Amino acid sequence: MATEVKHLHVTYNDIHNLIRYSTPKIATEFNPDLLVAIGGGGFFPARVMRTFLREITEHKALQIQAIGLSLYEPVEGTSANVVGHEVIRTQWLGPDSGKLLLGKRNLIVDEVDDTRKTLHYALSELQKDVEAELLTRPESEHAALREATKFGIFVVHNKNKGKLADLPADTPYFAGATVEDVWLDYPWEAMDIEAHDGHAAADKTL
């Protein structure tokens, strides 16, 4: 039987505010021009971040692209989930992925960095798409296009734990909050949002 892990419930407002306080730094230090949300947990954070980026940069609303990746399989009889062995693509950017990313400052957005496997996979696969797109361009343009293409990462929560994958040291990385190695219960997974918010309030008193 799997051991029960400690849970921490987070509310929509908690997430909204973590994004609110993180976005000025992201706008200054990375200034994305495309958001790549990892679904499903990255969808709501990316949409909220767009609101704050628009306000801060006074630019038009950024495009949000979506990819779907899965690592965790629910295990019957447990309230938490267990780690799967590999990252599975459930949705990607389409045949023009590299074209879409090339020359842009692409911010990958997810809700949580746990083992880091998902972020590592997303980043390395998106970079491969960029490299494939470069092969269709004259070699004389490669250096400038590579230089113009950047990837950054934003997660609402980073778990302070040993990671199973590394990200390149020069990849800008932003986390709304760093938490212990607990299981985070997100509001979009709740059936009863009032009960969820009640648990979140109780968690805050611990």
d(CA 42, CA 22): 15
Q: Give, as ranges, the residues between 120 and 179 that touch ligand 5GP (CB under 6 A).
A: none
- Check residue 74 and report its DSSP letter: E
| Contact assessment for residue 77 and residue 63, using Cβ atoms and an 8 Å cutoff | no
Select 114 or 197, whichever has its Cβ closest to ligand 5GP.
114
Catalytic residue among 110, 113, 114, 185: 114
Is 129 among the catalytic positions? no
Out of 46, 67, 108, 112, which residue is the one contacting ligand 5GP (CB under 6 A)?
112
Q: Give, as ranges, the residues between 176 and 205 that touch ligand 5GP (CB under 6 A).
A: 183-184, 186
Q: What is the residue-wise DSSP string for 12-33?
A: HHHHHHHHHHHHHHHHHHT--S
Q: Give, as ranges, the residues between 58 and 87 that touch ligand 5GP (CB under 6 A).
A: 71-72
115 binds ligand 5GP (CB under 6 A): yes
From 98-106, 114-122, 140-148, 169-177, give the range in contact with ligand 5GP by CB under 6 A: 114-122
CB atoms within 10 A of CB 96: 11
21 binds ligand 5GP (CB under 6 A): no
Which helix (H) or strand (E) segment is 65 a member of? strand 64-74
Q: Smallest distance, Å, CB 109 to ligand 5GP? A: 10
d(CA 185, CA 18): 15
Q: Which two tokens stand for residue 83?
A: 């780690």
Out of 23, 118, 149, 158, which residue is the one contacting ligand 5GP (CB under 6 A)?
118
Q: Smallest distance, Å, CB 204 to ligand 5GP? A: 17
How many residues contact ligand 5GP, by CB under 6 A? Answer: 15
Question: How many angstroms separate the Cα of 184 from the Cα of each of 21, 81, 124, 179?
Answer: 20, 11, 26, 9
Q: What is the residue-wise DSSP string for 155-191?
A: EEEEE-S--SS---TTS-EEEEEEE-S-EEE-GGG-S
Select 97 or 118, whichever has its Cβ closest to ligand 5GP.
118
Residues that bind ligand 5GP (CB under 6 A): 41, 71-72, 110-118, 183-184, 186
Positions annotated as catalytic residues are 114
